[in-house]
A and B are shown apart, each in its own frame.
Chain A
Amino acid sequence: MHRPDFDALRAGLLRAGVAPRNVRRAMLELGEHYDDLVDEALAAGMDRSDAEHQARRALGDLECIAAEIAARPELRGWAWQHPRLALIVYPVACIAVLPALPLIAGVANAPALARWIGCAFLGGLVTATMLLVMQLVITLT
């Protein structure tokens, strides 16, 4: 017996439009609750397999929990609560952010960018050295 499939629950909630912060919170609390239930059953003398089975039963069907969460509009993301406004705000925000995208991409990929710049510099140095050597050879001969 394994832990309940909290990853599937998380994915389902996000697909249903539940706000990511509410999903993270639900995952944290459900996970801790499950661990408490297992600990309680183990303390009562059950073996781990039975304890986990009982904990899953007590926690309830994850699909029912997902349905309960998804049925509450106040727990949904901003764009799901105000879809018409989101249709206006998101494109405007995207256009506003567009000029900063190269900078954001650079910061997000700083190590790769540093490697690329290093390689390009090294390549340029090798090429310049070769050209210099060639020029010297031509000049001296």
Chain B
Amino acid sequence: MAQTNPPFMSGVPELLLLRLLQQREMYGYELVRSIRQVTGEAISLGEGVIYPVLHSLERNGSLKSKRRSVGGRTRVYYSLTAKGRRRLTQLTDQWRRVQGGITTALEGPGHAPA
């Protein structure tokens, strides 16, 4: 079975979902495909775990959803709200700080194990 997101992935699905939904509205299956595509398949989630993240984001007002019937299927399309845009900016800044710190640590003078 595909695993759920490991601990170090905390916050990453949220960031990716907000980033993708900034471009256009999408439903869950589309979002998973887009995550794979934009990350070059570097991030592979148990696909079902995006729904709790989407529902939480909707609950806290970062996303809004709309149901549509498409080809006999019920699709729940998500789109970003103004609050979601602010949250995306905040998460992006946080991520860049963490990324910068790790890059510095990896490229700086280190002690190779004996």
Contact = CB atoms under 8 A, between A and B. Distances in A.
Given A32-B73, A33-B48, A72-B56, A57 B2 contact: yes
Nearest to B5: A68
Interface string A54-79: 00111111101101110110110000
B48 A57 contact: no
A30 B4 contact: no
A67 B46 CA distance: 13
Contacts of A75: 52, 55-56, 59
Interface of A: 22, 25-26, 28-30, 32-33, 35-37, 56-62, 64-65, 67-69, 71-72, 74-75
Interface of B: 1-4, 27-29, 32, 45-49, 51-53, 55-56, 59-60, 73-76
17 contacts: A29-B51, A30-B48, A30-B51, A32-B28, A37-B29, A57-B1, A58-B46, A60-B2, A60-B3, A61-B2, A61-B4, A64-B4, A65-B52, A68-B4, A68-B52, A68-B53, A69-B51
